[in-house]
């Protein structure tokens, strides 16, 4: 099993902005997403591609996971983006594919990735909501589902506030699809950079829904996401207690235990071990 990795905060940075890329190397986010899609104007996309490939080759991102969001294969730039990533001497940890709606879309991106590069896909079309299980079941290099809430709102023509009531079914089903297939699931962005209170509330909602972390659009949002999606000390202590209980010689063959008055099953042990992996990784950072 792949060790759990913290993905509390995934920051989009425009690939066409060298100063932003350099700044990303020193930020406290868990994931840097070099964005060649939404944040780059059409006439600037070839230059942004070159900058992204150069940034990956240069490295310097430390413990941060490095992801490149490419343009869609249905655009004039998508094929060249993927070819440039594959041709690079150094490659990112993952490629993020936009507006994926069908298993065929997943296969098209997966087939263009070199070995060792994971595929993350955006859940941001109405069609994708009716294919979530099929998308998440694609296998291969697929490793994460990322909610694209702005595009969902646009397609649905709905109106949302911090509570995102029109999107709650979509959010919950996306998490369920990811969990069913062992994928990371990241929440969508909060657009109002100046409203950190609203961001805090929405991060809390994301934790309640079960997301692993939140995608972000500004460095000022990192601290709120890191706080919200980090394990609480009480959670870590309980996970240690559960792990120790199952590890004791008299309990190793048991499926259910009573721990401090609570009934605990093997599924709770799996949850505890994952949480402890995340906590250990954060301590080492």
For the stretch 212-268, pLDDT in tens is 999 999 999 999 999 999 998 888 898 899 999 998 888 888 888 888 889 888 888
Q: Which CATH architecture has domain 9-229?
A: Alpha-Beta Barrel (3.20)
Each residue's pLDDT tens digit, 46-73: 999 999 999 999 999 999 999 999 999 9
Looking at residue 267, its pLDDT comes to 81
Paired residues of 262 in beta bridges: 259
Task: With H, G, I as helix, E, B as strand and everything else as coil, classify residue 63.
Answer: coil
**Does the annotation flag 201 for ligand binding?**
no
CA 92, 145, 215, 43: dihedral to nearest 10 degrees?
Answer: 60
CA distance to 31, 66, 95, 214, per residue, from 61 (Å): 9, 7, 16, 19
Looking at residue 3, its pLDDT comes to 66
For the chain, the structural domain boundaries read 9-229, 233-284
pLDDT greater than 90 at residue 20: yes
**Does the annotation flag 69 for ligand binding?**
yes
Residue appearing with tokens 């944040």: 39
Which pTM value belongs to this model? 0.92
Residue appearing with tokens 């959010």: 171
Looking at residue 2, its pLDDT comes to 59
**Does the annotation flag 81 for ligand binding?**
no
Task: With H, G, I as helix, E, B as strand and everything else as coil, classify residue 229.
Answer: helix
Residue appearing with tokens 């150069």: 54
Are residues 205 and 229 in contact, defined by beta-carbon separation less than 8 angstroms?
no
pLDDT (average), residues 158-185: 96
């Amino acid at each position: 099993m792949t060790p759990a990795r913290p993905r509390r905060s995934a920051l989009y940075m425009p690939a066409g902005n060298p100063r932003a890329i350099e700044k990303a190397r020193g930020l406290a986010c868990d994931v840097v997403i070099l964005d060649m899609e939404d944040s780059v104007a059409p006439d600037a996309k070839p230059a942004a591609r070159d900058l992204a490939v150069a940034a990956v080759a240069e490295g310097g991102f430390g413990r941060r996971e490095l992801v490149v969001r490419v343009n869609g294969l249905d655009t004039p730039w998508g094929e060249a983006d993927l070819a440039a990533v594959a041709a690079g001497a150094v490659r990112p940890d993952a490629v993020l594919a936009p507006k994926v709606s069908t298993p065929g879309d997943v296969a098209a991106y997966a087939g263009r990735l070199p070995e060792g590069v994971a595929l993350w896909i955006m859940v941001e079309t109405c069609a994708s909501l009716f294919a979530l299980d099929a998308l998440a079941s694609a296998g291969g290099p697929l490793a994460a589902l990322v909610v694209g809430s702005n595009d969902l709102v646009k397609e649905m023509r709905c109106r949302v506030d911090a509570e995102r009531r029109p999107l709650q079914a979509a959010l919950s089903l996306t998490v369920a699809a990811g969990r069913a297939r062992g994928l990371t699931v990241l929440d969508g962005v909060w657009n109002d950079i100046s409203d950190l209170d609203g961001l805090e509330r929405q991060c809390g909602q994301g934790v309640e829904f079960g997301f692993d972390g939140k995608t972000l659009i500004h460095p000022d949002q990192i601290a709120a996401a890191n706080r919200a999606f980090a394990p609480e000390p009480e959670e870590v202590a309980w996970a240690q207690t559960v792990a120790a209980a199952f590890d004791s010689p008299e309990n190793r063959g048991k499926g259910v235990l009573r721990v401090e008055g609570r009934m605990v099953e093997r599924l709770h042990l799996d949850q505890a071990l994952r949480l402890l992996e995340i906590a250990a990784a954060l301590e080492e950072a």
